[in-house]
C-alpha cells in the first residue's frame, strides 16, 4: 500500500480551521431549512425560529419536516464520517469503511426479512431488523477474524461476509413479493424523507457515546498508527482496542443505516479530506470528520430533496456518485504528483 | 550496579516449535548489552519476551521467569511494562502522514490517563528529547520523509519521552549506511540508560556494547564482555565459517573477520609460495 503524501496544515492553523468548520455546520443547518419542495423564505424561517410564526404552513414544515430532517442529516453525516475515520486509523487502512465490514449488507438482510415476514408494523420492525442484521454481520466478521487468529484480516472477512449476506438478500428478494422487494430496494438506496425527531435523539445518543469513547482512547488509537508492535510496546492491548472500536463503529453505522438506509462513501471520503486539511491523528481526524461529514450530508440531502420538481433522489445514489468522482480525482491527483 | 532484570530458565515455544531454550542472564542498571547470533537464533524473540510482546502472537507457550526489579514481569500491567521498557522497532508500519511531533507524543501514552491533555511539561520533554538526538528542527516535519537514520533517532527520542529505564532496540542499524550506523549507536551509548539491543554487525556490537549475549538455535551460548564472547572458536562454531579475531588498532575493540574455507586455503597457498 502506498504511503500517503504529506500535505497537511501546520498544527497552529488547526483551531482556526475547526472553528470555521463548526461555524459552517451551524450556517449550513439553518440555511438548508429553506430548501425543499415547499417554499420557505428567509423571513418565514427567521420568524418561525426566533419569534412567533405568522405563516402556519411554514411553521409546520419547518418544525415537523425540515428541522428533524436537517438534524438527522447532521448527526448521520457526523456518525458515518466518524465511523470511517475510526476504522481507518485502527486498521491503518485508508480504504477501511463501515460498509466494507458487511454492516450494510447485514442491515439489508435484516430489512429484507422484516419486509417479507413482518409487513404489519414496518415502522418499528424495519429499523430494528436492519440494526440487528448489521450487528449480526459484525459478530460474524469478528468471529471469523478470531478463528483465523488474525485481527488484521478483519477487512477481508468483512468483504467476504458482505458478499455472502448480499447474496442471501438477493435470493430472498428474487423469490419475494414484488411490492416488498421494491420497498427494500428503495430503502437500500438511502433516504431521509421519512425520518422523525426521535431518530435524531437515538442517533445522537450513540454518537455521543462513540465520540466520548474515542476521545478517551485517542492516544491508544494514535499509537496504532506506527504499527501493532509499536502500540503494544506503549502498553496498548491491540486486539481489545480494535474490537472495541469495531463494535462502536458497528453500533453507530447500524443505527444510522436502520433509520436512513444505505448511504455509501461518506465514511470513506470525508476522513481523506480531513487528513489533507487538518492532520492524521485521531482527535483531529474525529473532530474534523464530524464537522465536514455533517456539512456534506446536510447539503447532499438538500440536493436530494430539491433537484427534481415532483420527486426525491435517494441520498445514497448522490453520495455514491460523488464518492466515486472524488476517488477518481484523488487517483488523478496522486498520479500527477508522482509524475 | 544494581540488578534491574533477571531472566531465569526462560523457554519459549510457538506452535510446539522451540524458539528459546533455558535462557539465563541478569541485566544491571546502566549496562549496554548486545544480543548477537545468526539469523533465527532467537534474538528478536528474546526482545519480545522481555517486553511482553508475545501477547501479539498466537499459540505461544512460555516457561521460566523474567523478574523486573525482583517482581515477575507477568504481574506488571501492560502500562507498567511500557513505563519500564521502551522499544525501538526494526521497521515501522506508518501508512498515514504522521509528523515527527505526532510520533513523539505517542511516547507520552504510558504516563497519561484517559482524558488527559498534553501540558507545557510534555512539550518541554518532547523538545528536550529531540534536541538530545539532534533533531529539534524536525518537530513539524513528516516522519515518513526523514531518512532511515533520522527515523531511528526520532524513535529513540520517543523512547526518551517514554521515560523508561530500559531501552530495547531491535536491529537499530538495519538499512542504515555506515555513517548512520555509528551515529545511532554512539547516540544510544551517550544516553546513560540501560540498553538491550540486537545487533547483526559483530564489530559494531564489539565497539558499542559493554556486554554481549551470543545466541544460537534459541540457546544462550556465551554471556560476557566482547573480548570474552567474540572468540574465533566460538564464532566459527556458531556461524559455521572460519573466523579470525584481532584488536582494532584505532578503537582498541575486538574485531572479527569471517572467511570462506576456499579463501583461507587460497591465502595459505599464496603464503607458502
**Contact, B92 vs B156, CB < 8 A?**
no
**More reliable by pLDDT, B65 or A10:** B65
**Contact, B51 vs B81, CB < 8 A?**
yes
Give the residue on B whose Cα is nearest the Cα of A271: B96
Quick one: CA dihedral A254, A259, A262, A264, positive or negative?
negative
Q: Which DSSP state fits B210? A: S
What CATH number corresponds to the domain at position B206? 3.40.50.300
Q: Does B244 share its domain with B181?
A: no
DSSP-based three-state secondary structure for B22 = strand
Q: Does B137 share its domain with B257?
A: no
ipTM of the assembly?
A: 0.85
pLDDT of amino acid A1: 41
**More reliable by pLDDT, A6 or B134:** B134
Residue A60 within any structural domain of the chain: no
Q: How many domains does chain B have?
A: 2
A/B interface, count of CB pairs below 8 Å? 118
DSSP H helical ranges for chain B = 43-50, 78-84, 100-106, 120-132, 148-161, 178-190, 202-208, 226-229, 232-239, 261-272
Q: Does B134 share its domain with B243?
A: no
**Contact, A223 vs A236, CB < 8 A?**
yes
**More reliable by pLDDT, A285 or A104:** A285
Q: What are phi and psi of A80, to 5 degrees?
A: -65, -40
Residue A74 within any structural domain of the chain: yes
Q: Does B190 share its domain with B253?
A: no
pLDDT-based confidence at residue B173 (cuts at 50, 70, 90): confident
**More reliable by pLDDT, A147 or A173:** A173
Distance to chain A for B182, nearest Cα, Å: 24
Mean pLDDT of B58-70: 80
Give the residue on A whose Cα is nearest the Cα of B117: A219
pLDDT of amino acid A247: 85
**More reliable by pLDDT, A153 or A167:** A167
Residue A295: exposure state from Cβ atoms within 10 A (0-12, 13-18, ≥19): buried
pLDDT-based confidence at residue A159 (cuts at 50, 70, 90): confident
Count CA atoms closer than 13 A to B79's CA, side-chain side.
Answer: 9
Residue B262, domain extent: 231-273
Residue A154 within any structural domain of the chain: yes
**Contact, B94 vs B144, CB < 8 A?**
yes
Q: Does B104 share its domain with B218?
A: yes
Distance, in Å, from the CA atom of A255 to the CA atom of A258, rounded to the nearest integer, reads 5
Which is nearest to A234 in space by CA: B247, B164, B124?
B164
List the single range of A103-107, A201-205, A273-277, B49-53 with lowest mean pLDDT: B49-53
Interface probe, candidates B81, B106, B146, chain A, greatest A C-beta count within 10 A? B106
Q: Does B61 share its domain with B111?
A: yes
pLDDT of amino acid B54: 58
Are the Cβ atoms of B112 and A219 closer than 8 angstroms?
yes
Residue A53 within any structural domain of the chain: no
Residue A104, domain extent: 11-39+69-338
Q: Does B104 share its domain with B59?
A: yes
Count CA atoms closer than 13 A to A339's CA, side-chain side.
Answer: 6
In the predicted structure, residue A10 carries a pLDDT above the cut 80: no
Q: Which of A320-325's residues contact partners 24+ apart within 8 Å by CB, and which partners?
A: A320/A264, A320/A265, A322/A265, A322/A269, A323/A264, A323/A265, A323/A266, A323/A268, A323/A269, A324/A265
The mean pLDDT value of chain A amounts to 87
pLDDT-based confidence at residue B53 (cuts at 50, 70, 90): low
In the predicted structure, residue A15 carries a pLDDT above the cut 70: yes
Distance to chain A for B151, nearest Cα, Å: 12
**More reliable by pLDDT, A115 or A31:** A31
In the predicted structure, residue B93 carries a pLDDT above the cut 90: no
Q: Does B186 share its domain with B174?
A: yes
List the single range of A119-133, B8-22, B50-64, B157-171 with lowest mean pLDDT: B50-64
Q: Does B168 share its domain with B265?
A: no
Q: Does B237 share its domain with B202?
A: no
pLDDT of amino acid A3: 46
Distance, in Å, from the CA atom of A93 to the CA atom of A253, rounded to the nearest integer, reads 18
Ordered strands of the B71-72 beta sheet: B71-72, B60-68, B3-14, B17-28, B219-224, B211-216, B32-36, B194-198, B166-170, B85-88
In the predicted structure, residue A337 carries a pLDDT above the cut 70: no
Residue A281 within any structural domain of the chain: yes
pLDDT-based confidence at residue A5 (cuts at 50, 70, 90): very low
Any CB–CB contact under 8 A between A98 and chain B?
A: no
Question: Using a CB-CB distance cutoff of 8 angstroms, which residues of chain A are in contact with residue B91?
Answer: 227
Question: Using a CB-CB distance cutoff of 8 angstroms, which residues of chain A are in contact with residue B94?
Answer: 3, 225-227
Distance, in Å, from the CA atom of B233 to the CA atom of B237, rounded to the nearest integer, reads 6
**Contact, A211 vs A82, CB < 8 A?**
yes
Distance, in Å, from the CA atom of B147 to the CA atom of B132, rounded to the nearest integer, reads 18
Are the Cβ atoms of A10 and B142 closer than 8 angstroms?
no
Residue A26 within any structural domain of the chain: yes
**More reliable by pLDDT, A333 or A167:** A167
Q: What is the pTM (predicted TM-score) of this model? A: 0.86
In the predicted structure, residue A7 carries a pLDDT above the cut 50: no
Mean pLDDT of B196-221: 95
Q: How many domains does chain A have?
A: 1
What CATH number corresponds to the domain at position A200? 1.10.3470.10
List the single range of A67-76, A93-102, A313-322, B242-251 with lowest mean pLDDT: A93-102
Q: What are phi and psi of B33, to 5 degrees?
A: -110, 130
Any CB–CB contact under 8 A between A228 and chain B?
A: yes
In the predicted structure, residue B137 carries a pLDDT above the cut 80: yes
Residue A49 within any structural domain of the chain: no
**Contact, A293 vs A266, CB < 8 A?**
yes
pLDDT of amino acid A68: 95
Distance, in Å, from the CA atom of B67 to the CA atom of B188, rounded to the nearest integer, reads 24
Left, alpha or beta for B222 (phi > 0: left; psi -120 to 50: alpha)?
Answer: beta
Q: What are phi and psi of B4, to 5 degrees?
A: -95, -40
Q: Which of A8-14's residues contact partners 24+ apart within 8 Å by CB, and which partners?
A: A8/A275, A8/A276, A8/A277, A8/A278, A8/A279, A8/A280, A8/B97, A8/B99, A9/A277, A9/A278, A9/A279, A10/B140, A11/A279, A11/B99, A11/B101, A11/B140, A14/A278, A14/A279, A14/A284
pLDDT of amino acid A77: 97
Q: What are phi and psi of B202, to 5 degrees?
A: -65, -35
Q: Does B261 share its domain with B151?
A: no
Distance, in Å, from the CA atom of A104 to the CA atom of A263, rounded to the nearest integer, reads 9
Which is nearest to B264 in space by CA: B236, B238, B237?
B236
List the single range of A89-93, A118-122, A210-214, B203-207 with lowest mean pLDDT: A118-122
Q: Pseudo-torsion of CA A16, A17, A20, A26, nearest 10°?
A: -130
Which residues numbered 154-173 in B keep a CB inside 8 Å of some CB on A? 162, 168
Q: Does B187 share its domain with B125?
A: yes
Percent of chain B with pLDDT over 90: 53
Residue A2 within any structural domain of the chain: no
In the predicted structure, residue B90 carries a pLDDT above the cut 80: no
Decide the pairing of beta strands B194-198 and B166-170.
Answer: parallel
In the predicted structure, residue A295 carries a pLDDT above the cut 60: yes
Q: What angle do CA B22, B27, B33 make, to 5 degrees?
A: 95
Amino acid at each position: 500500500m502506498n504511503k500517503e503524501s504529506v500535505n497537511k496544515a501546520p498544527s497552529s492553523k488547526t483551531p482556526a480551521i475547526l472553528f470555521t468548520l463548526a461555524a459552517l455546520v451551524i450556517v449550513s443547518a439553518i440555511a438548508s431549512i429553506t430548501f425543499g419542495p415547499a417554499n420557505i423564505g428567509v423571513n418565514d424561517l427567521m420568524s418561525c425560529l426566533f419569534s412567533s410564526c405568522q405563516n402556519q404552513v411554514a411553521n409546520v414544515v419547518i418544525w415537523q419536516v425540515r428541522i428533524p430532517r436537517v438534524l438527522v442529516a447532521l448527526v448521520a453525516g457526523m456518525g458515518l464520517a466518524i465511523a470511517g475515520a475510526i476504522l481507518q486509523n485502527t486498521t491503518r487502512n485508508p480504504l477501511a469503511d463501515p460498509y466494507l465490514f458487511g454492516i450494510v449488507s447485514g442491515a439489508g438482510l435484516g430489512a429484507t426479512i422484516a419486509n417479507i415476514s413482518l409487513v404489519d408494523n414496518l415502522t418499528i420492525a424495519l429499523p430494528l431488523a436492519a440494526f440487528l442484521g448489521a450487528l449480526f454481520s459484525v459478530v460474524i466478521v469478528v468471529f471469523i477474524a478470531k478463528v483465523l487468529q488474525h485481527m488484521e484480516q478483519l477487512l477481508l472477512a468483512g468483504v467476504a461476509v458482505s458478499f455472502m449476506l448480499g447474496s442471501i438478500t438477493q435470493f430472498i428478494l428474487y423469490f419475494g413479493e414484488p411490492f416488498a422487494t421494491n420497498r427494500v430496494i428503495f430503502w437500500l438506496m438511502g433516504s431521509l424523507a421519512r425520518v422523525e425527531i426521535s431518530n435524531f435523539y437515538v442517533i445522537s445518543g450513540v454518537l455521543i457515546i462513540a465520540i466520548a469513547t474515542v476521545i478517551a482512547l485517542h492516544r491508544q488509537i494514535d499509537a496504532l498508527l506506527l504499527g501493532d508492535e509499536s502500540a503494544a510496546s506503549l502498553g496498548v492491548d491491540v486486539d481489545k482496542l480494535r474490537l472495541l472500536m469495531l463494535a462502536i463503529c458497528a453500533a453507530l453505522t447500524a443505527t444510522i443505516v436502520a433509520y436512513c438506509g444505505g448511504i455509501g462513501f461518506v465514511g470513506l471520503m470525508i476522513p481523506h479530506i480531513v487528513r489533507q486539511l487538518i492532520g492524521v491523528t485521531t482527535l483531529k481526524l474525529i473532530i474534523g470528520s464530524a464537522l465536514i461529514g455533517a456539512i456534506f450530508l446536510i447539503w447532499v440531502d438538500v440536493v436530494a430533496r430539491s433537484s427534481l420538481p415532483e420527486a426525491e433522489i435517494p441520498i445514497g445514489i448522490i453520495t455514491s456518485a460523488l464518492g466515486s468522482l472524488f476517488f477518481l480525482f484523488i487517483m488523478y491527483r496522486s498520479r500527477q504528483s508522482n509524475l | 550496579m544494581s540488578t534491574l532484570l533477571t531472566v531465569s530458565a526462560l523457554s519459549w515455544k510457538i506452535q510446539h516449535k522451540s524458539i528459546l531454550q533455558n535462557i539465563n542472564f541478569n541485566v544491571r542498571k546502566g549496562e549496554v548489552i548486545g544480543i548477537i547470533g545468526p539469523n533465527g537464533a532467537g534474538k528478536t524473540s528474546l526482545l519480545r519476551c522481555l517486553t511482553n510482546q508475545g501477547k501479539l502472537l498466537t499459540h505461544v507457550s512460555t516457561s521460566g521467569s523474567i523478574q523486573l526489579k525482583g517482581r515477575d514481569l507477568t504481574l506488571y500491567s501492560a502500562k507498567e511494562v511500557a513505563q519500564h521498557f521502551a522499544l525501538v522497532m526494526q521497521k515501522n508500519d506508518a501508512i498515514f502522514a504522521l509528523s515527527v511531533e505526532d510520533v513523539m507524543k505517542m511516547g507520552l501514552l504510558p504516563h497519561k490517563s484517559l482524558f488527559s491533555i498534553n501540558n507545557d511539561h510534555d512539550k518541554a520533554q518532547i523538545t528536550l528529547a529531540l534536541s538530545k538526538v539532534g533533531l529539534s528542527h524536525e518537530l513539524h516535519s513528516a516522519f515518513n520523509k526523514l531518512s532511515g537514520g533520522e527515523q531511528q533517532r526520532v524513535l529513540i527520542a520517543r523512547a526518551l519521552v517514554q521515560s523508561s529505564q530500559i531501552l530495547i532496540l531491535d536491529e537499530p542499524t538495519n538499512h542504515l549506511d555506515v555513517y548512520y550506523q555509528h551515529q545511532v549507536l554512539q547516540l544510544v551509548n551517550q544516553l546513560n540508560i540501560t540498553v538491550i539491543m540486537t545487533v547483526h554487525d559483530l564489530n559494531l556490537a564489539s565497539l558499542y556494547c559493554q556486554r554481549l549475549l551470543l545466541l544460537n538455535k534459541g540457546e544462550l551460548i556465551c554471556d560476557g564482555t566482547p573480548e570474552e564472547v567474540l572468540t574465533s572458536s566460538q564464532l566459527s562454531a556458531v556461524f559455521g565459517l572460519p573466523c579470525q579475531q584481532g584488536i582494532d588498532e584505532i578503537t582498541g575493540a575486538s574485531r572479527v573477520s569471517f572467511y570462506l574455507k576456499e579463501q583461507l586455503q587460497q591465502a595459505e597457498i599464496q603464503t607458502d609460495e
